[in-house]
Structure 1
Amino acid sequence: MTASISQTLAAWRARITRPPGPLGAASRAVQRRINAIIPEKVHAAVTAAMAAMTQAMLTGAGFVTGAPLRQGSLEAREAKVRAAVRGWKTAAGAEGGAAGAGGFLLVAADFPLLMSFKLKLLFEIAALYGHDGAVLSERLYMLHIFELAFSDAEHRARVLAAMDDWDARPHPADLADFDWRAFQQQYRDHIDLAKLAQLLPVVGAPVGAVVNWRLTAHLGETAMMAYRMRWAGKGEGSDG
């Protein structure tokens, strides 16, 4: 791990755990008040649905992208990762634009489809960094990457702490032990306003394309940094 990569990682960690500014704090306070108003049975139902959908995707045979890449420098791996992110950004953007042009029903359908794109991207990235997506602990790591990308700073700090020294830690034996309530609530709060904009007449299509493109790009960047953490933790050399 070169000094430049180490410095990039340190700067990234500091940036994503920085407390929100006044606008961000006010927005988060509003979201918390809204969540407090929503009945518990609704929270429970949404959590169960999100957990079932995500677990089904994580355990689906079509999501494992092949054998992990065992050889190659960090630089060579990340060239392939960037190409994968570009491909999934394009697909997600096209799908978001079509959904935004189609009104409420297509926007509703866009949610699970975009989720599947994001998870497929994470499986592909994991394999390119040499990790086996068929292993439960790797799927849990992917869920944490997802949380890092789509959570507030307070939650990201807790997730980062759980990800440090990942390969030396014991891990749950079942996906059911994952905190699905926090996962779905953080994700929903993070993307609600952006996805609602897809419902607007005329601008829904371009907004949907840009939103999906940016969300996928952000997840790809977050995944790269998260796997660099693993690479650094193993003390592997790099020319990138």
Structure 2
Amino acid sequence: MYKETAKEEVARWRRKLLKRPSMAGRYTKKWQMKMNNMIPERVHSVVTNSIKNMVHVTLTGSEHTANKEPLYDVSLEEREEKVRELIKTYKRTAAAEGAGTGAGGIFLGLADFPLLLGIKMKFLFDVASTYGYDVRDYRERLFVLLLFQLAFSSGDKRVELLNRIDQWEDEYNQLPSKREYMEKVDWKDFQLTYRDYIDLPKMLQMIPGFGAIVGAAANYHFLDLLGETAMNGFRIRMFEQEKNGADH
């Protein structure tokens, strides 16, 4: 019964994800692009470098993977109870961090980027382990990055990423060595997708005083969105493996 409910939730989430953006959403995107041109280059550099460093650490580092044993031999319902607790915990952490840096205006607002990225990646690694996937395998870390991109993408990019999640098992089995893969990562595309999504609320976060409210709310929302994406992404994968009789 729980599994059937989860499958229905995946179907609803998929429909919502692929829905055409509203007129307000399209207008916001245009306004955001104008705002981007007014942002000091220093701000763009901090964001770009933070994201690139985060991706490098995710794929090559051991900070979030050491001693992280995947959770085996438990039901989907038990796994997801734990995941929902993780979402609550990380949302509180991200909101507190966003409020603290948002209160300080532009300089602390800049500091928020790498801090929030770290929180998000640690959250995704914990979720992956809870679903029973071993993040010490670089291919599992690639799937985590795929979920991260999907959460903060829109339009055609979203369709492309969702298709990759649907067909992940095929891609997983054809992946090259880690070194070869790292040489082919499109850093620029990855950075712009994420940066464009979060620029609007983060601009407001850099206004002293007002930024504390926006920072807490924005970070809380981002973790909520990431949690929903991660849960449904791993569900798709588990249901696909189950259908094909594969273990992970």
TM-score (norm 1): 0.87
The reply on whether 1:210 has 2:211 as its aligned counterpart is: no
Asked if the contact 2:94–2:119 (Cα under 8 Å) also holds between the matched residues in 1, the reply is yes
Which structure has the higher relative contact order (CA within 8 Å, separation 6+)?
A: 1
**1:26 matched to 2:27:** yes
- Structure 2 partner of 1:80: 82
Judging changes above 3 Å, is the alpha-carbon distance between structure 1 residues 46 and 118 closer, same or farther for their aligned structure 2 residues? closer
Report the counterpart of residue 175 of structure 2 in structure 1. Answer: 171
Give secondary structure in 1 for the equivalent of 2:209: coil
Partner residue of 1:160?
A: 162
Residues 179-206 of structure 1 deviation map (CA, whole Å, 9 limit, x = unaligned): 3222211111111010111122322112
Structure 1 residues 24 and 176, CA gap change in structure 2 (3 angstroms): farther
Aligned pairs (5 A) from 1:21-100: 21-31=22-32, 50-64=51-65, 66-100=68-102
Runs of 5+ unmatched residues, structure 2: none
C-alpha displacement at 1:47, in angstroms? 5.2
Count of residue correspondences: 234
Q: Cα offset for 1:119?
A: 0.2
Cα pair 1:63 1:120 within 8 Å, conserved? yes
Measure, in 1, the Cα distance between the counterparts of 2:200 and 2:35: 13
Amino acid at match of 2:197: H
Identical aligned residues as a percent: 39
Q: Is the 8 A contact 1:68 1:129 kept in 2?
A: yes
- How big is the alpha-carbon RMSD for the aligned residues of Structure 1 and Structure 2? 2.7
Residue 198 to residue 37, structure 1, CA distance change in 2 (3 Å): closer
Give the Cα separation in 2 of the matches to 1:49 and 1:122.
17
Segments of 5+ residues of structure 1 without an aligned counterpart are none
- Confirm or deny: 8 A CA contact 2:99 2:216 kept in the other structure: yes
Runs of 4 or more above 6 Å deviation: 33-38, 42-46
Which AA in structure 1 matches 2:236?
M
On the 8 A contact 1:140/1:175 being kept in 2, the answer is no
Corresponding letter in the other structure for 1:171:
L
